[in-house]
């Protein structure tokens, strides 16, 4: 990794762009794709000009790694009071001297949005603005970024096929006696893990805690408080974590509350349709994969974990994550504030001896944690979520207002990683300390959510249509039992796997039996 830093002076139109120039030189020297360099230059220079035009000065920091460029621009200035308005093309508060030079046309932030792969803005009125963006340096890198954060222990699999049938996006296949996951379909929910009797599935990150450094921030989910045999005050847990060396600890609750408040304000403007709060990233992934037409129902805010990740202003972040979807989000961090995810097992083991003897009375005004059900309609469990989204997609739900959807039963309390019963741990996690000491906010999401790429059968539409026809022909010859014995979840999925060269044409045992008995002769004339 190489780092570039630069000062940006207010009103200095002539030397603005020098930091961008240094980034360009670095990118050229490592041989980055020219289109990526151009996108980086548009974004970086626009960001510098924003500081020159609108603020009292600032700094730019950039980190170049082989995969991506991460940029962080901090300024001291008036801040942006309405980010949604500032993101609109043509909205500008620039002075005439900027306009004379061709700047200040209100296209800066929209231009940054268009030319970046990740983008976040954090702004405090009268203090300043922090802008972060990422550009992938190799073409098609964003599509490759769907890595399923699910760990598989293949030797444990007994091929009971439960995971195959329960996966809401049909991402699981059994090949050579063990499951594999198609990353472009996996949404990181825990459905497979939940039904697996052999513990084949886990979260794709280590569970032993890294060594804390003085400037590391630890982010822990609220359900952690409910895992120690009794009600714990936030303070007790904080002290225990401190004794393990974690001095800066952010609980997820204030970030979740901030998101909820932001969505409630946003929802006042929306009528006649549900507002699908992005509380659960697995559900957001589900919408991107299976219900892309509903993406516009998701309000433009980052999830609690993303807002916290983008708010880190010093050092590294360690995120304790209860599921694969959150694990993926934690890793989508800037190289300037690198974050790692850990699954809770290791921390639970370290904390248990410290907290065992400290059962407490419930705190006086114990509030239920916000991690579920403060929304008018709260739905949990992947089946129920899919049923609801099917209904919304069919146009049968035009009311409901704010809706919270969680992939796990009982929300994050029900993630299979937790040893305690979800409702017991919710009861025990109740905290009296709802004050927001760290300034948790819900960050506006400047880049819109998009349907996932990689679902297409072929980049070429003619070939894709041909493949579609072949899939139909092959499916017509399959028995339609959707038994999963072949290792694909349905006969249709098997037909697609055969066409996409992910399965053997003879994989169906029932079709083979029928063929051997000569009972399916009528299909044979249609064979491809």
Single out the residue of 16, 121, 222, 415 in contact with another protein (rule: CB under 8 A): 16
Contacts of 468 (CB under 8 A, 6+ apart): 457
Residue 17 beta carbon to another protein: minimum distance, rounded to whole angstroms: 3
Closest CA to 196 of 495, 416, 455, 484: 416
Q: Are 68 and 27 in contact (CB under 8 A)?
A: no
CA distance 63 to 316: 14
Residue 301 beta carbon to another protein: minimum distance, rounded to whole angstroms: 26
Nearer to another protein by Cβ, of 49 and 326: the residue is: 49
What phi and psi values does residue 138 have, to the nearest 5 degrees?
-110, 145
Nearer to another protein by Cβ, of 82 and 100: the residue is: 100
Single out the residue of 4, 8, 17, 185 in contact with another protein (rule: CB under 8 A): 17
Q: How many CB atoms lie within 10 A of CB 412?
A: 31
Residue 110 beta carbon to another protein: minimum distance, rounded to whole angstroms: 8
Site for another protein in 37-76 (CB under 8 A): 38, 41-42, 45-46, 49
CB under 8 A: which stretch of 101-109, 229-237, 364-372, 512-520 binds another protein?
A: 101-109
What phi and psi values does residue 132 have, to the nearest 5 degrees?
-130, 140
Nearer to another protein by Cβ, of 20 and 333: the residue is: 20
Tokens of 402: 């704010």
Single out the residue of 9, 12, 13, 332 in contact with another protein (rule: CB under 8 A): 13
Residue 21 beta carbon to another protein: minimum distance, rounded to whole angstroms: 6
107 is an interface residue for another protein by CB under 8 A? yes
Binding mask 270-289 for another protein (x = CB under 8 A): --------------------
Report the run of H or E that residue 68 belongs to, with start and end: strand 68-75
Residue 201 beta carbon to another protein: minimum distance, rounded to whole angstroms: 44
Report the run of H or E that residue 60 belongs to, with start and end: strand 58-64
Residue 141 beta carbon to another protein: minimum distance, rounded to whole angstroms: 20
Single out the residue of 4, 8, 54, 111 in contact with another protein (rule: CB under 8 A): 111
Residue 367 DSSP symbol: B
Residue 277 beta carbon to another protein: minimum distance, rounded to whole angstroms: 33
Contacts of 249 (CB under 8 A, 6+ apart): 217, 218, 219, 220, 238, 241, 242
Single out the residue of 9, 21, 175, 470 in contact with another protein (rule: CB under 8 A): 21
What are the Cα distances from residue 470, in Å, to 182, 235, 315, 411? 21, 62, 53, 41
Return the SS3 of 392. helix
Interface residue list for another protein (CB under 8 A): 13-14, 16-17, 20-21, 24, 34, 38, 41-42, 45-46, 49, 100-103, 105, 107-108, 110-111, 114-115
């Amino acid at each position: 990794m190489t780092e570039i830093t630069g000062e940006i002076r207010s009103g200095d139109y002539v030397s603005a762009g020098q930091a961008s120039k240094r980034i360009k030189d670095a990118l050229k020297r490592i041989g980055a794709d020219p289109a990526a360099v151009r996108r980086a230059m548009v974004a970086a220079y626009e960001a510098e000009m924003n500081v020159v035009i609108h603020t009292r000065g600032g700094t730019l920091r950039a980190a170049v790694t082989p995969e991506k460029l991460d940029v962080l621009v901090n300024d001291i200035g008036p801040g942006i009071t309405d980010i949604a308005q500032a993101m609109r093309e043509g909205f500008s508060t620039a002075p005439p001297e900027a306009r004379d030079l061709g700047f200040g046309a209100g296209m800066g932030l929209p231009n940054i949005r268009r030319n970046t792969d990740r983008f976040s803005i954090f702004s405090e009125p009268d203090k300043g603005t922090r802008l972060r963006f990422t550009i992938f340096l190799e073409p098609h890198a964003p599509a490759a970024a769907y890595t399923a954060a699910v760990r598989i222990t293949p030797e444990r699999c007994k091929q009971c096929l439960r995971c195959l049938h329960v996966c809401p996006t049909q991402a699981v296949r059994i090949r050579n006696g063990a499951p594999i996951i198609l990353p472009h379909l996996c949404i990181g929910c825990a459905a497979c893990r939940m039904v697996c009797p052999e513990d084949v599935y886990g979260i794709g990150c280590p569970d032993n805690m890294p060594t804390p450094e003085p400037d590391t921030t630890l982010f822990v989910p609220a359900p952690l408080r409910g895992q120690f045999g009794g009600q714990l005050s936030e303070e007790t847990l904080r002290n225990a974590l401190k004794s393990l060396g974690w001095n800066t600890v952010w609980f997820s609750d204030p970030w979740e509350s901030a998101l909820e408040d932001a969505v409630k304000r946003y929802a006042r403007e929306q009528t006649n349709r549900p507002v699908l709060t992005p509380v659960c990233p697995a559900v957001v992934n589900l919408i991107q994969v299976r219900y892309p037409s509903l993406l516009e129902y998701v309000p433009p805010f980052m999830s609690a974990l993303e807002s916290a990740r983008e708010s880190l202003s010093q050092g590294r972040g360690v995120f304790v994550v209860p599921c694969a979807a959150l694990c993926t989000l934690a890793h989508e961090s800037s190289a300037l504030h690198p974050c790692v995810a850990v699954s809770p097992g290791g921390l639970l083991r370290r904390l248990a001896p410290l907290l065992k003897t400290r059962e407490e009375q419930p705190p006086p005004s114990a509030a239920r944690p916000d991690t579920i059900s403060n929304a008018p309609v709260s739905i949990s469990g992947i089946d129920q979520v899919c049923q609801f989204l099917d209904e919304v997609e069919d146009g049968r739900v035009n009311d409901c207002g704010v809706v919270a959807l969680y992939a796990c039963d009982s929300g994050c309390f029900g993630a299979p990683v937790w040893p305690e019963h979800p409702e017991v741990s919710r009861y025990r996690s109740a905290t009296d300390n709802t004050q927001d000491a760290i300034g948790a906010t819900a960050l506006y999401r400047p880049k819109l959510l998009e349907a996932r790429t990689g679902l297409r059968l072929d980049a070429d539409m003619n070939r894709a249509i041909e493949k579609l026809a072949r899939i139909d022909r092959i499916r017509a010859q399959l028995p339609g039992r959707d038994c999963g014995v072949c290792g694909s979840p349905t006969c249709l999925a098997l037909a697609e796997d055969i066409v996409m060269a992910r399965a053997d044409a003879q994989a169906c045992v029932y079709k083979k039996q029928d063929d051997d008995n000569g009972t399916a002769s009528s299909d044979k004339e249609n064979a491809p």
